[in-house]
C-alpha cells in the first residue's frame, strides 16, 4: 500500500550542514529567526529524518531558531557510527553535543515520537540543560506501549488491519532503506485518528526527500535495542518547564503516557489534541503550533 498525491507540491531538497557530535557528524537544517531562541527538533522513527516535520513547524520560526537534526546514523547524518551507539542515552548526549557545537547555551528541545523518547532521556541525563522541553507523543516507560498489540488486533477499518499489522512485524527484518520506507509508510493509517484521512497523501508528499535508515530501525526493533525507555524515576528531578502533548486518539503513545509525564515533572504541563492520533502536527497543525509556541513563550519569558 503506497500513499501518493499527484497534486501536492514537492518540497525542496533539504539544505543543511554536518555538525560534529562526539564520534560522528549529524546533519542539521536551520530555519526561522536566526536571533531567536534555538529549538532543537528531534524526529521520530527510528529510521526517519528531520523531513518528517515537513513545513508544519515553520510558523514557529517567526520567533524561534528551528534547528532540525537528523539523528545518529539516520537521514543525511554520517552513516559510519558504531551501531552499539544507537541507543537513547547516546542520542540524548548528541543533543547536548549539537548545542555545544553550535555555540548555544540557552536552547529548548522538541521531540516527537521516538524523538520524544530522546527528549525525555535528555531531561533525565542532563536535567536543566534545556531551558524548556516539549515531549510530543512520547512515553516515560515501555509499559505504556503494552496496548499496541491489542490495538493492532482490533484496528479498524478491517480491510487495512492485516497490512498495517504486517508492517509492524517487518521492522526487525528490514534490509534496505527502500524496504524501510515501505514499512513506515504502510503504518501511516495507524498513526492518524482517521485511518483514511486524505491528509495522509499530502503528508507523504511533504516527506518525499526523506532518507530512511533500515539499519537503525532494524537494530532498535530487536530485543534489547535502542527503543527502551524508563525515566519515571528521573522526571521528578527535571527542573525545566516541560510540555507533554499527544492526540486523544494516539494508538501508539496513549494519552495516559503524556498525563504521567506531566504529573511527574515538577513544571509539567499537559495538552491533548482532541481530533488527533499520533500525527498531531499534521492533523491539527494550527493548534499544534499555537500550543507549542505559547508554551515556549511562558517557559522562556
Express each pLDDT in 223-233 by its tens digit.
Answer: 556 678 999 99
Beta-sheet strand order (sheet of 242-247): 17-21, 24-32, 65-69, 38-42, 108-112, 132-136, 242-247, 268-273
Distance CA 136, CA 270 (A): 10
> What is 99-168 written as a DSSP string?
HHHHT-SS-EEEEETHHHHHHHHHHHHSTTSSSEEEEES--SBGGGGTTHHHHHHT-SSHHHHHHHHHHH
Can you tell me the distance from the alpha carbon of 92 to that of 127, in angstroms, rounded to the nearest whole number? 11
168 domain residue, yes or no: no
Above 60 in pLDDT, residue 7?
A: no
Q: Is residue 221 assigned to a domain?
A: no
Q: Rounded mean pLDDT of the chain?
A: 94
> What pTM was computed for the model?
0.95
The torsion angle over the Cα atoms of residues 218, 221, 222 and 223, rounded to 10 degrees, is 160
Q: Quick check: helix, strand or coil at residue 183?
A: helix
Distance between CA 252 and CA 138 in Å, rounded?
9
Place of cell 549529524: 26
Predicted pLDDT of residue 294: 98
Q: Is residue 192 part of a domain?
A: no
pLDDT single digits (tens) 125-154: 999 999 999 999 999 999 999 999 999 999
Query: Across residues 233-245, what is the average pLDDT?
Result: 98
Residues 6+ apart with CB under 8 A from 192: 199, 200, 277, 278, 279, 282, 283
CA distance 27 to 107: 18
State the average pLDDT over residues 237-259: 98
| pLDDT greater than 80 at residue 27 | yes
CA atoms of 204 and 18, how far apart (whole Å):
25
Question: Is the alpha carbon torsion for 225, 141, 37, 284 positive or negative?
Answer: positive
- Calculate helix-pair angle for 177-186, 158-170, nearest 10 degrees: 150
| Main-chain phi, psi angles of 62, to 5 degrees | -60, -30
Give the pLDDT of residue 13: 75
User: Is residue 223 in some structural domain?
Assistant: no
Summarised one tens digit per residue, pLDDT across range 176-212 is 999 999 999 999 999 999 999 999 999 999 999 999 9
Q: Per the domain annotation, does 199 fall within a domain? A: no
Percent of the chain with pLDDT over 90: 91
- Contact indicator for 110, 119 with CB cutoff of 8 Å: yes
Q: Find the CATH number of the domain harbouring 274.
A: 3.40.50.1820
Predicted pLDDT at 224: 58
Span 59-112, pLDDT tens digits: 999 999 999 999 999 999 999 999 999 999 999 999 999 999 999 999 999 999
Residue 8 pLDDT class (50, 70, 90 cuts): low
* All three cell numbers of 251: 494508538
Whether pLDDT at 4 is above 90: no
Among 74, 73, 94, CA closest to 84: 73
Q: Is the pLDDT of residue 288 over 90?
A: yes
- Is 191 among the domain residues? no
Containing domain of residue 255, as a range? 17-148+230-300
Q: Is residue 173 part of a domain?
A: no
Longest dimension (CA), the chain: 51
How many domains does the structure of the chain reveal?
A: 1
Provide the 3-class DSSP secondary structure of residue 46. coil
Confidence of residue 301 (pLDDT cuts 50, 70, 90): confident
- 279 domain-assigned: yes
> What is the reported pLDDT for 115?
98
**What's the pLDDT band for 221 if we cut at 50, 70, 90?**
confident
Q: Where are the alpha helices (DSSP H) in the chain?
A: 88-102, 114-125, 148-153, 158-170, 177-186, 188-191, 199-206, 214-221, 255-264, 280-283, 285-300
Give the pLDDT score at 2: 47
Amino acid at each position: 500500500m503506497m500513499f501518493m498525491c499527484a497534486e501536492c507540491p514537492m518540497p525542496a531538497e533539504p539544505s543543511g550542514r554536518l555538525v560534529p557530535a562526539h564520534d560522528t557528524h549529524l546533519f542539521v537544517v536551520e530555519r526561522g529567526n536566526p536571533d531567536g531562541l534555538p529549538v532543537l527538533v528531534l524526529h521520530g522513527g527510528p529510521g526517519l529524518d528531520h523531513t518528517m516535520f515537513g513545513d508544519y513547524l515553520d510558523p514557529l520560526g517567526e520567533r524561534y531558531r528551528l534547528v532540525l537534526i537528523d539523528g545518529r546514523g539516520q537521514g543525511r547524518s554520517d552513516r559510519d557510527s558504531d551501531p552499539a551507539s544507537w541507543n537513547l542515552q547516546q542520542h540524548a548526549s548528541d543533543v547536548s553535543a549539537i548545542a555545544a557545537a553550535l555555540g548555544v547555551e540557552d536552547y529548548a528541545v522538541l521531540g516527537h515520537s521516538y524523538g520524544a523518547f530522546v527528549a525525555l532521556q535528555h531531561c533525565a541525563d542532563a536535567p536543566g540543560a534545556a531551558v524548556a522541553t516539549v515531549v510530543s507523543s512520547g512515553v516515560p516507560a515501555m509499559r505504556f506501549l503494552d496496548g499496541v498489540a491489542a490495538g493492532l488486533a482490533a484496528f479498524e477499518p478491517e480491510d487495512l488491519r492485516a497490512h498495517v499489522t504486517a508492517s509492524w512485524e517487518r521492522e526487525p527484518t528490514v534490509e534496505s532503506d527502500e524496504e524501510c520506507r515501505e514499512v513506515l509508510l504502510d503504518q501511516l493509517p495507524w498513526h492518524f485518528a482517521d485511518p483514511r484521512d486524505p491528509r495522509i497523501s499530502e503528508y507523504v508528499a511533504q516527506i518525499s526527500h526523506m532518507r530512511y535508515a533500515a539499519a537503525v530501525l532494524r537494530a532498535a526493533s530487536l530485543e534489547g535495542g535502542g527503543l527502551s525507555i524508563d525515566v519515571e524515576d528521573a522526571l521528578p528531578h527535571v527542573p525545566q518547564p516541560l510540555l507533554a502533548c499527544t492526540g486523544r486518539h494516539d494508538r501508539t503513545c496513549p494519552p495516559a503516557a503524556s498525563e504521567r509525564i506531566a504529573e511527574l515533572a515538577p513544571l509539567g504541563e499537559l495538552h491533548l489534541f482532541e481530533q488527533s492520533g499520533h500525527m498531531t502536527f499534521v492533523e491539527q497543525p494550527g493548534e499544534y503550533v499555537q500550543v507549542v509556541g505559547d508554551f515556549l513563550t511562558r517557559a522562556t519569558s
